[in-house]
Structure 1
Amino acid sequence: MLRVNPNIYKRAYTTASNIQKTKPSNVELTWSKFFQIRRQERKINIGSSVLSAFLTSNIAFAYVATIEIDPTQTIFGLDPSIVLIGGVMTSAAFGYLIGPSIFGKPIFQLRHKSVLEGYNLKNKIFLKHIIKNRVDASKQSFSNPPPDYYGEKIGSLKEYRRWLRDCHAYRIKASEFI
């Protein structure tokens, strides 16, 4: 059976101007640089969470401040002011949760546009390592808590190696029922 190389069609329709427009597909990123960028992403996301929580709570408070409260009427069997304050706090919590997706991710992508492709590639590799090496959390106990399950606190190669040692120690303790 005759097999045709699929790249032959790409070569036939590629011009010199198309080749010059393409970006390098693989931006090399060292692990230390990856962890540095990952730490910056975490800081940006936390900052954006705080900012969006502040904004949403202020918007909710501005709305609540315009409402006339009748102290004789109850809402869900509670004093109206308590319910409205709970609504402001709920909007702050909601703002904290949506902050990274609304503000954090776009800011991070703008700041690290040149290494974003390499960062995403390294992040996929890193997460595959985490998934492969993480422990079974169903065997946890008070005397044997599992290490960082998602690897969120790993910020350097040294911390990654420490995490691997902790996972190994956890597996040994879990198998010996200590």
Structure 2
Amino acid sequence: MRTSLARRVLAPLRASMSTTTTAPASSSSGQLSWPEFLSIRRARRRWELATTIPSTILCGVGGGAYFFSLEGDSSVPLFGIDPLYVYAAAGIGSTGLGYLIGPSIGGWAWRMSHRARLALIDARERELHKRILKYRVPPELTPANNPRLPDFYGEKIGSLHDYRRWLRDQARYKRKAEWSEGEGA
């Protein structure tokens, strides 16, 4: 039973891998192989991470320079608090804003640099998302005292090996949750 499940789940991936053997052939035929897509996906996440660091630093330095240059009168509170504390919180907030904006900037820059293959990449992304929705553990199987699901959104999938490991982890968690449900009843 276990091997038939693995064959059924991995058969579409193997079929798509066998139809395209080289990267140039996959580009000319309008298909994107799974290993190629997963490496592109990993590169996109690296771009997002690479832009997060400078945007955090720039927004922190810029916000700090602006807010700490403002004159604050201690006798006139802002929001009922000493202005120095409000300006410090605003400087820290601008650093947090830079941290949140960084991945969006990186994703936008990555999409602009990969416009030629964007339709293929988006199609594979939708297909991967459908697979993740189909095979992941349902959230209702999560006990209240241990709400940790194994990579619920498939964010750690970066290769076919990672995808297979993700499938095994999901199946193992699902079996464990269903087994413990049957035991408690």
Q: Give me the whole-angstrom Cα distance separating, in 2, the residues matched to 1:26 and 1:69.
A: 64
Tell me the residue number matched to 2:11: none
Q: Give me the whole-angstrom Cα distance separating, in 2, the residues matched to 1:54 and 1:144.
A: 34
Shift of 1:153: 0.8
Q: Is 1:40 matched with 2:46?
A: no
Shift of 1:95: 2.0
Q: Is 1:56 matched with 2:59?
A: yes
Shift of 1:31: 0.9
Query: Which of the two has greater helix per residue?
Result: 2
Tell me the residue number matched to 1:120: 122
The count of aligned residue pairs is: 154
Identity percentage of aligned residues: 36
Alignment root-mean-square deviation, CA: 2.3
Tell me the residue number matched to 1:135: 137
Specify which of 145, 149, 152 is matched with residue 152 of structure 2: 149
SS in 1 for 2:115: coil
Shift of 1:165: 0.8
Q: Is 1:169 matched with 2:184?
A: no
The 1:158/1:62 distance shift into structure 2, 3 A limit, reads same
Unaligned residue ranges in structure 2 (runs of 5+): 1-26
Structure having the higher Rg: 1
Q: Give me the whole-angstrom Cα distance separating, in 2, the residues matched to 1:138 and 1:48.
A: 36
Q: What is the TM-score of this pair, normalised by structure 1? A: 0.75
Q: What is the TM-score of this pair, normalised by structure 2? A: 0.72
The 1:64/1:145 distance shift into structure 2, 3 A limit, reads closer
The 1:113/1:26 distance shift into structure 2, 3 A limit, reads farther
Q: Is 1:93 matched with 2:74?
A: no
Q: Give me the whole-angstrom Cα distance separating, in 1, the residues matched to 2:29 and 2:48.
A: 26
